[in-house]
Structure 1
Amino acid sequence: MMFQGFLDQHPVPGTLDFLGHTPSLSFTSEVDSEASISEASSEDLAPPLEAEVAPERHRVEAVKSKEKKKPRALANMLNMFKGKKKKGSSPSSAQPEPRPGPGSPAPTVEELKAALEGGRLEAAGSLLVLERELAALASAGKLDAEELVRRQSKVEALYTLLHSQVQRVLCRPLEAAPERLHQALAVVAEQEREDQRAAEAGPGAATLVNTRPRHWLQQWRHSVAVVASERMGARPAAHTEGRSEVEDAFLHMGRTMKEDLEAVVERLRPLFPAEFDVVATYARSYHEHFAAHVAALAQFELCERDAYLLLLWAQNLYPNDILKSPKLAAELQAVSLGSLLTPKQIRSLEATFLSSEVANVKGLMARALELEAQRWAQDVAPQKLDGRCHSELAIDIIQIVSQGQAKAENITPDLGKQIKQVLLVELAAFLRSYQHTFDEFLERGKQLTNYRANVIANINNCLSFRTSMEQSWPIVQDPRRHLLEPLSELRSHGFDTLLQSLFLDLKPLFKKFTKTRWAAPAETLEEILTTVGRQLPKFWELQDCFREELMEAVHLHLVKEYITCLSKCPLVLKKEEQQQQLARNILANAEAIRLFCTQNGSPATWLYPALPKLAEIIHLQDLNAIKMEVATYATSYPDFSKGHLSAILAIKGNLTNSDVKSIRNILDIDTGTQEPFRPLFSLIKLG
């Protein structure tokens, strides 16, 4: 889940550190209810309403034909006030119906008031009967308007008191005893049924104020909304270092909503009747507050961090870690709370995030390269890792790009895909900039003490870049041109720099071949290989793969320079024995070069035939055999030109001009080879 470990990703907002305590779900304050209770006190409640109603009952029997049992229930409610229960009744019933004998007195208004003030919700049934009795009297026209208003005010005062007591229970449902909570819920449910009955019966007497529907269930839902607003809007207990006020507020709201809804699901849902839809009621209230807070923030021009925070919560943390958390997912699936942000707001914030995050990544990469170049210029020696020169630049760059992509993926996988393509373009641009900066260092830093070590460190960097790109971002479209080509050029330029002094030392040695007219080729080659061997330890700080590449470059240079000397050889050997002797010398030198380079790690097997095949051309005397050998050679080395062939054939002084021409024409035949090849003869300049 995103919450776990989220605080460790600076500057990403932190984890919801959900507490294990049970939240106290409370409704609005009871000030309004307490203030209205006074309406049922003193003189308003002085005359017992039932005492005045009783003498009229025999006159309104026809009107109350459907309620014949109500007076008996009302009369026997007094026994309940005195602590007597109907035998077999449920303790959680809000409207017990005792069956006393005929003539039992009904509770007085004062008795009902005392019962309600004592929190005895069982009195709700008697109060409902009083309300109906009063409506019946009004309909029968047995009391004048003033008396009806006076009595109705007493009934309403009692209802205010009842509502207050019900609210006292429902305002903290987790603290109420289950039986008492059942009673309060039953009172609300009965009031809803009475609202419906009154609506079906139509308008009552004109002299009575219409008090139905009372909408107690609707008021309860409103109270839940107020609770949600108070709970979610409370200031966090303490500010956490490293987090903004907006982050603290979001963490507080997320933690509060998750914990409170879990308490509703686990403890309230089993107790509340289905018509209350308790889980959905609480969930919608908390969601509406959360969404309103987010929508309000979205109206402002947000900083990069807060814009990311809104997207992260709206697109990931809220739907996945709260709504789909294990304890809530099944319960909230049918509620359809929706998103904290509108699609338009999400698109706008995503565009802002992508733009700012790409710019941020670009700036961080540029800064990392700037600091690295400063270390080169200040002649700071690179680190050593397992005996290899090491630079943190590649690690820093890959981490910067990866974090940018991870931030987008934290919001949604789709946003991660979008930013990935843009970041790869920026990475390619960075690598080109890196290559140019490195080239400038190669030119300007030659006199620095740690010049060679820093060159090696940057060549080694190419491995880290290449490995990370291949593993983290499989590239399908022309990867060499966009990403790997700058690294290849950087590595090639680094090799050229490292080998420059070696190749300069070898140049006069190779010239000995022509100066001595190949009189002692074995001794000259031995001197060349000894010189190379002395300098190879300088390259041990390269990564193994790059040391092999560098050794291949040395191998290529030895073969190339040997062919160059052979092509510029002033020898013209007319005798077959002379040509065969030269061929034997070339074969011996070729084997010495191959053995030396192979032992030192060169993987350039493609260079093995280069010298032996030329020796074979020099050795052969049959014209057709020479032609076949030339054709085969040109297949292995497509850049073997007529000029190079002519230089080799010039050694064979027993060939006529016509023979040379016919052999050269072999190279005009198109072999159809289209495969890429490694250059060899194109590196050999004969002019």
Structure 2
Amino acid sequence: MRVVPVTECGFSTVWGAPMKGGACCPIKIPRAAGTKQDLCSQDFASPLLVGCRRLSTFCNMRIRIPNLWNITGRRPSDVNSTPDVDGTPDVDGTLDVDGTPGVDGTPGVNGTPGVTDGLQAPSEEQPNSVPLTFVENLEKFRVYEASKLLIEREESLFGEMSETETSEDHQEEVANLHADYTKLLERVQYILKGSMSVGLRDVSVENLSSAVKAVCQEEERYQAWKEKNRTPPTWRRRSWKEIHDSLLLDLTTERLVVLPTTPPDMKESLQKEVNHMGKQLKEDLFWVVDVVKLYYPPHMDICNSYARMYHQVLSNKVKGISDIILVDEDVRFLLLWVNDFYPGMLQKPELTAEIDTEALGKLLSQKDLEPLEEQYLSKQQSELMTYISRVLEEEEQRWKDEEEPQKEDGYYVSPVAYDIIQLINGMVTSTETVVGDRHKAQSITCELSSLMERFKVFHSSIIRKNKANSSAYIKANLGCIEQFRDVLENNGHLFTEDERGKCLGIVAEMKQSAHAYLLSPVHDSLKSHYRKLGTKDWLKKSVFEKLLENIETKMQDLQGLTTPCHQELIGQFHREVAVKYLSRLLKGEVKLKNQEQQEEAYTVVKDNAETLHKLFSTMGSREEWLKDVLTKIAEVLKLQDLPAIQIHVATLGSCFPDISVKHVSALLKLKTNVSKADRKTVKETLSDILNEPHTDNAPAFFSQVQVK
């Protein structure tokens, strides 16, 4: 600014601040009245120059207001004439609290020059290089950076000073730092809580990443303080990892809270509550393994941490439900949920890839499960026995009403076995799913043998009363017996071993009595033909042929059985005819005095064995080994040399261990040319063979042949 005297007007003109277009604005200064001296000679310019300079500075700052942020680190909205609490300069040039100079170049408290003295004003293109303050970082959810700033302040306070100095001389700074740590923790907690919102609606992924890094950073600082031999500040007396885990536990608890409802009944309320918790847990665990884990370091094992917490919270809630008195349907639902639905949910591939589900264990302890299982198993057992009793009662009533059993494809059938087997299979299988233990599920059949005994009594009553429809019912029962035996032998997982053994014994007795009932009339009609076996007439072919003709005729009475049952019955008939044949032969009514008669008898027995086998095989028998028995007997009749007889009898003893010395003695007595001494020698040979160990799979035959 320059001053130019203008004497002709009585004014001095001062060229002040530039106007628009670059011209200076003239300012006229009046002379002092009553003075003779030119006012221009007086020093009025200095005060005015100072005022103009301040005006110019203000205008420049208003023009460059965006650049103010680059200098002060503060937003334009924060511009005022009061000092900042953080010590940054105000735009009006007044002193900041910390004494740093104002931006107009006026000196600060310590006399340092202003930042604009002799320097060009900062340009608009200058980059933003001033870091954010702690408060600003918190506002932007940059908690990791905010944590760094607090650690720097903490290190400044506690790094070089003694514990006494810190506590006595810097109480205000310590209190402020404590307050800031509280704010930091609150912001971290807010972010972590928001991280479980699906889609991270409440926080961004950057916020979550920053919060996790802050937790790790503060945990490292906590561990560092533990290694120091001094009292840590208040905010360092608890692990941030523990705080983090405690927060997540509270969070999982909140996530599994069911909103209060007023359903029509308690059953709906309980099931709705448990299903809600299960659904929420599933969604949250999938969210953790898909999204949340991406922002946690591997050493924190966040997937398993969340899984353990959810498991613990859910376990506590389910235990609380199980402690109240529950109706049977609720007990079943709770057990099914604990043993099937929940483990099945955890076995999803997406979860097992990240979570050690096996380490979580059962949702309820065995102690908590026992009363529930006891109530449920008792109910299942009672229902199963009731249903089976009802099936038997219905069959007994049909018998009393003299109804004929149904026929399917020409076979007599009964629904008893099918219905009972379906009941057992369905209830044991469902029980195993509910309680999660096969052995416990089997226990509901522990009274099955008593019901099978009841069926056996009914079966015996049919035989004893021998009504017109008894034969049809027994044939239908044989089908039931076959089905029971099949399921007992091939589906042992449905029964306890003890009950299985008892029931197999019962059905075997029932089959034997059924076969005897059906075959006894046939044998009675064949008695006259059996009597001629082993006699002189027997050596004539016509005797045995008539027996076969009558057998074939009587077999028609054995129709009406299912194929497996028919085969077993015909096989039993085959064995019984062979037994009667040999029994009649060993009675010794025919004497074979010489080799010729013995060879003739050999031929007859051999032919009879082949013919009998052919007939019964045609009718369905599978007892092929019976032909071999009679053929070996025939060979003994033909042999003449003692050593050969010994070898053959020894073979008989090896193949059929139930043969006795009496059987061999009776057979040799048919050959009158064998001396008593030779018979003794052969019997001793047999005894030696029988004393040797034998396999138990040899069929029993000779034990049924009675000899004197």
| TM-score category of the 2 structures, normalised to the smaller one | 0.5 to 0.7
Could you tell me which of 123, 128, 131 is aligned with 1:97? 131
1:257-286 deviation line (CA, Å, top 9, x unaligned): 111121133233335688997646644543
1:469-511 deviation line (CA, Å, top 9, x unaligned): 4444499999996564433322222111121222222224445
Distance in 1 (alpha carbons) for counterparts of 2:592 and 2:126: 135
8 Å Cα contact 1:60-1:140 kept in structure 2:
no
1:135-146 pair list within 5 angstroms: none
Give the direction of change, closer, same or farther, for the CA distance of 1:182–1:336 in structure 2 (3 Å limit): farther
Structure 1: which amino acid aligns with 2:349? P
Q: 1:260 matched to which residue of 2? A: 284
Structure 1: which amino acid aligns with 2:461? E
1:527-538 pair list within 5 angstroms: 527-538=546-557
8 Å Cα contact 1:627-1:663 kept in structure 2:
no
Could you tell me which of 477, 482, 497 is aligned with 2:517? 497
Q: 2:352 matched to which residue of 1? A: 329
Which deviates more from structure 2 when the two are superposed, residues 321-330 or residues 218-227? 218-227
Structure index of larger Rg: 2
Residue 342 in structure 1 maps to residue 362 in structure 2: no
Distance in 2 (alpha carbons) for counterparts of 1:625 and 1:169: 99
Distance in 2 (alpha carbons) for counterparts of 1:488 and 1:555: 19
Residue 440 in structure 1 maps to residue 480 in structure 2: no
Q: 1:249 matched to which residue of 2? A: 273
Give the direction of change, closer, same or farther, for the CA distance of 1:56–1:435 in structure 2 (3 Å limit): same
Residue 182 in structure 1 maps to residue 227 in structure 2: no
Structure 2: which amino acid aligns with 1:505? S
CA RMSD of aligned residues (A): 6.4
Residue 270 in structure 1 maps to residue 291 in structure 2: no
- The Cα shift of 1:553 comes to 2.6
1:116-135 pair list within 5 angstroms: none
8 Å Cα contact 1:265-1:331 kept in structure 2:
yes
8 Å Cα contact 1:627-1:666 kept in structure 2:
no
Give the direction of change, closer, same or farther, for the CA distance of 1:492–1:187 in structure 2 (3 Å limit): closer
1:246-265 deviation line (CA, Å, top 9, x unaligned): 44433332222111121133
Structure 1: which amino acid aligns with 2:311? H
Give the direction of change, closer, same or farther, for the CA distance of 1:439–1:683 in structure 2 (3 Å limit): farther
- The Cα shift of 1:644 comes to 9.0
Residue 604 in structure 1 maps to residue 623 in structure 2: yes
Distance in 1 (alpha carbons) for counterparts of 2:245 and 2:498: 61
- The Cα shift of 1:594 comes to 3.6
8 Å Cα contact 2:448-2:499 kept in structure 1:
no
Give the direction of change, closer, same or farther, for the CA distance of 1:255–1:630 in structure 2 (3 Å limit): same
Q: 2:690 matched to which residue of 1? A: 673
Distance in 2 (alpha carbons) for counterparts of 1:228 and 1:593: 81
Could you tell me which of 293, 296, 307 is aligned with 2:317? 293
- The Cα shift of 1:238 comes to 12
Which deviates more from structure 2 when the two are superposed, residues 520-529 or residues 258-267? 520-529
Residue 486 in structure 1 maps to residue 509 in structure 2: no
Task: Say how many residue pairs are matched.
Answer: 577
8 Å Cα contact 2:567-2:621 kept in structure 1:
yes
Structure 1: which amino acid aligns with 2:131? E
1:554-633 pair list within 5 angstroms: 554-565=573-584, 589-608=608-627, 631=649
Distance in 1 (alpha carbons) for counterparts of 2:242 and 2:570: 85
Give the direction of change, closer, same or farther, for the CA distance of 1:576–1:491 in structure 2 (3 Å limit): same
Residue 234 in structure 1 maps to residue 266 in structure 2: no
Structure 1: which amino acid aligns with 2:356? Q
Q: 1:18 matched to which residue of 2? A: none
Give the direction of change, closer, same or farther, for the CA distance of 1:507–1:280 in structure 2 (3 Å limit): closer
Distance in 1 (alpha carbons) for counterparts of 2:126 and 2:381: 75
Distance in 1 (alpha carbons) for counterparts of 2:208 and 2:457: 79
8 Å Cα contact 1:169-1:184 kept in structure 2:
no
1:193-204 pair list within 5 angstroms: none
Structure 2: which amino acid aligns with 1:496? A
Structure 1: which amino acid aligns with 2:293? R
Give the direction of change, closer, same or farther, for the CA distance of 1:85–1:459 in structure 2 (3 Å limit): farther
SS in 1 for 2:537: coil
Give the direction of change, closer, same or farther, for the CA distance of 1:286–1:187 in structure 2 (3 Å limit): closer
Give the direction of change, closer, same or farther, for the CA distance of 1:547–1:214 in structure 2 (3 Å limit): closer
Q: 2:97 matched to which residue of 1? A: 57
Specify every segment of 5 or more residues in structure 2 that has no aligned partner in the other structure, as ranges.
1-80, 89-94, 102-123, 158-165
- The Cα shift of 1:632 comes to 6.4
TM-score normalized by the length of structure 2 = 0.59
TM-score normalized by the length of structure 1 = 0.61
- The Cα shift of 1:233 comes to 3.1
8 Å Cα contact 2:471-2:518 kept in structure 1:
yes
SS in 2 for 1:447: coil
Distance in 2 (alpha carbons) for counterparts of 1:548 and 1:480: 25
Structure 2: which amino acid aligns with 1:498? L
Structure 2: which amino acid aligns with 1:441? I
Which deviates more from structure 2 when the two are superposed, residues 290-299 or residues 356-365? 356-365
Distance in 2 (alpha carbons) for counterparts of 1:429 and 1:469: 15
Structure 2: which amino acid aligns with 1:268? V
- The Cα shift of 1:329 comes to 2.9
Calculate percent identity across the aligned residue pairs: 21
Distance in 2 (alpha carbons) for counterparts of 1:181 and 1:353: 48
Specify every segment of 5 or more residues in structure 1 that has no aligned partner in the other structure, as ranges.
1-46, 62-83, 90-95, 99-105, 205-209
1:80-121 deviation line (CA, Å, top 9, x unaligned): xxxx999578xxxxxx826xxxxxxx99x9xx9xx99xx865
Point out which structure has higher relative CO (alpha carbons under 8 A, 6+ apart): 1
